[in-house]
Homo-oligomer: A and B are copies of this chain.
């Protein structure tokens, strides 16, 4: 089964007729690690499905690069507000690994909403993204960087082995040296 159809099917049943229309609207691209898909200040005009690879969302805060979150295949993503409202986005998105990514134009992503399965998929995807954002928010509101790092260890978060430490530290809201101290402390326990 096509990897994107497989991903869709984890949200809703996608009949053949609908899948054929969706399949015609997506294009496969290969991006080297370190490629910027979207730069802060641009309008995001695509919906993406990452089949293989890993990406980082970040913003520039007073010139400092701050990691918002990571996206690991298989996952569907975009810079939502910019994509929906045609506004200049604050997000930058870059690949942290060589990645296989399917792209759909905004026109198709909205046009296909007439298909019941695509419509249901988009709604459920939005729910999932909202829920995941809320989980990160709750963690930041209620846990220290060390607690959050411990949880990543416990959950064997694949980010830990696949992402440079500086980005993990930034995601945890701390300096790389602080992350080193936490790691050292935990390894001594």
Contact = CB atoms under 8 A, between A and B. Distances in A.
A68 B123 contact: no
Contacts of A129: 130
Binding site secondary structure of chain A:
helix
A142 interface: yes
Interface string A114-155: 000001001100110111011011101110000000000000
A66 interface: yes
Nearest to A64: B142
A86 interface: no
A134 B134 CA distance: 8
A126 B59 CA distance: 23
Contacts of A137: 68, 133, 136-137, 140
A84 interface: yes
A80 interface: yes
B80 A127 contact: yes
23 contacts: A59-B138, A59-B142, A66-B141, A66-B142, A68-B138, A80-B127, A81-B127, A84-B127, A113-B123, A119-B123, A122-B123, A123-B123, A126-B126, A126-B127, A126-B130, A129-B130, A130-B130, A130-B133, A133-B133, A133-B137, A136-B137, A137-B140, A140-B140
Interface of A: 59, 61, 66, 68, 80-81, 84, 90, 113, 119, 122-123, 126-127, 129-131, 133-134, 136-138, 140-142, 173
B131 A80 contact: yes
Nearest to A137: B137
A142 B140 CA distance: 11
Nearest to A171: B141
